[in-house]
Structure formats: C-alpha cells, structure tokens
Structure 1
C-alpha cells in the first residue's frame, strides 16, 4: 500500500511537471546584421520588388516576397508600381545543411539489487549503482536558413539599407523558417550601420509570432510584432 501511494504521488508530480513545461514558450533565435544609410525623412515609403534574372517567374520567390511585404507594411512601407516606387527591394535567400556530432551520455545500471535489509525500504540500485555513464558520438543534421533584404533608392540606385537574417535548427523547410527570418530582419527597423543583433521570436504562436503564408500564396494580415531583441 505504501508503494502504491508513492507511485500515485510520483504520477501526479510528473503530470504537474508536464503541464508546466507545456506552458513554456520556445523561441526561434536569429542572428541579424544590418548596414544602413537610412535618413528616415521620407513621409511615404513606396516600394516595388526587383528580381535578378534567375528569380523571374519563380513561385517560391513570389511567396517569400509576400512574407517580407507583411513585415514591410509594419514599418509604413506600401507597395506601388515599379515606375512610381521610391524604393526597390531585392531579396536573397538560401539554405545550407550541415552535420553536427555531439557526445551523448549512455547510462548502464547494475541489474543486481543491493543487500536487502529487513524492515527497510527496498533499494533497487544498492550501494553499487548506477554505473558512471559512457559517451557515444551521435550525429544530427542541422540547417542554416538565410534571408537578405536590400533596399535601394529607385531614382539614384543608392543602397540605403542592407540586412541579413540567419538562423540554424533541425528544420529543413526554408518556407517554415521564412516568416521568422523576415520578422527578425525588420525588427527595430532601421538598425544603425554595422549593427549585429540576436532576435528571439516565440514559436508557439503567442506574443505576435509570425504567420505562415497559405499554400495558395495569399498572405495573412500582418500581425503585431512579437520579436524580442537581445543586445
């Protein structure tokens, strides 16, 4: 009966711990580097996307442009016809895969119980266990996602803002990472020249986390910013 009560208590403790962990917020962490000559004097920020020859008629490019457009809208940018736009916005994006090897501990326990003493609780490990861990190398794939946003003045061709966002995780989908890259790249716009920031965005959909573009290409309404900048 005593063991049953202890078991029930342990189950309740584990259930409470699981509930607590479920409420924790997980963040996507992105490294952002910006170069800026932004004067901030313009009242109307009209822009149009521009593409390199290899980016023309590219559905993936168009999808990422819509995600970036959502973030530009949060900073008073408005899309216009290329002939009338004050700024031209160019995107560069990509993904690289790597393999990371980590030494993981492996524990081996003594299968034989220690001496049993009458009138004392049963000790499943005895005085000789558990054994010290051994370490085994395990390899994991990781993926680095990158987004570059370059803003130039249409009339002069002068570059006024160039920002790069980069994050690394086990997610192989660049599409899934792109809303976080775009939100991080435009966080605290405009950054000072040569600024390097770490931006954390909630992954659980709370605190204004980015929305993904639907499969059909229609963009969701621009959400309120949930980015947290770490100096």
Structure 2
C-alpha cells in the first residue's frame, strides 16, 4: 500500500518503508497527536518521536524489538502524556532540547542544535526551531537512497508554522528559523511529518512562506 501519511485517532498506523529505515505513523487521542516509531532495518533498533498519549498502544507498537530512545519535540503536555509510562516500560532514554527540559515530567538527556540521534545505523540531525516553545526541534533524516525526511513537531505544518500565541517576537523567531534552517537548506522533495494532521513536502509549502510571513502567523 502506498504511504499517504493519513492517520486517524484509534485507526491503523501508516507504515513507510525506506531503504534503511521504517517509519510508522500513528495518531493518538484525545488531541490527534502524531507519534512516529522509527526502526533501523539493518539493526532493528527503534526510536520513538513524541510519546504523546495512549502509552499502552505505543508500547504495543514498539513490540518485542525494544526502544532505544524517546525524543520529545517540545515541552507542550499533549506531546509527552505517555512519556513516563513508555520510558518505564521500555527502558528507553528520554531526549529533549535543553531549553525545554524543565517542562517534562521526568529527567531527560538534553539535545542542542546540530546534535545527532542514532537509530541503529541511521542518524537524525537535531534542528532547533525557536518560537513555538524555546526548545522546539525538528529531526532530519537524510536518506542515502532517496529524499530527506523531516519530523517537525509543532513548528511546521501544511499551511503554516506553529502557534506563537500572536507574539510578534516569537513568530519572527519561528518563521526565520523555519525559512533559513529548513526551506533554505533542504530541497523541495523533502517530506515532512508534523505533530498533528497530514504530512506535506517543502516544495508544496515553499510558495506560501512569504504569505505566512506577511500575515504574521
């Protein structure tokens, strides 16, 4: 089945098989958060992005393969409700950007811009996108056999950047980081996976970036 990225809360996961990495996307309630389980196809090692909710369901998704780490994209509660339970049940290392570490319910190892997170033989680059929260991050996987894949949390969605509570300074920080660290660096075919809702590509969204900047949200 062709991967579309369309998932619904309580519905079946969507699975994408890349050359070296398997991406499983699932929506969990009650706020339809996306969680992403990444598995290295060479080693079987797994990393979860955002243990948002429904811990038993996420642990079931992990299965018997074990979980090396849980990366939290930012400190908003709807992205970490299941974090503590998933970590306790799997022994995974919790990871978060240093500027958002105090917003999590458990102690976590801290990340900074430019760090890498290993998924077996694969590697995710940490990209700090300040504005939605002080420590919001995206995670970039550069597929050696294909297009880049980008996990954006709540910093970038189809149709705009994340919520900055109508704060002009925070919006300016976020739109600048999204434009310069993502759109200026990565090609149109880059597929991105947000914290809620459907996926998109940078190419589909690129023409709208000046409109986003002009409208201020």
Q: Name the TM-score, length of structure 2 as normaliser.
A: 0.24
Q: Answer with 1 or 2: which has the greater Rg.
A: 1
Q: Which has the higher contact order (CA 8 A, sep 6+)?
A: 1
Q: Name the TM-score, length of structure 1 as normaliser.
A: 0.23
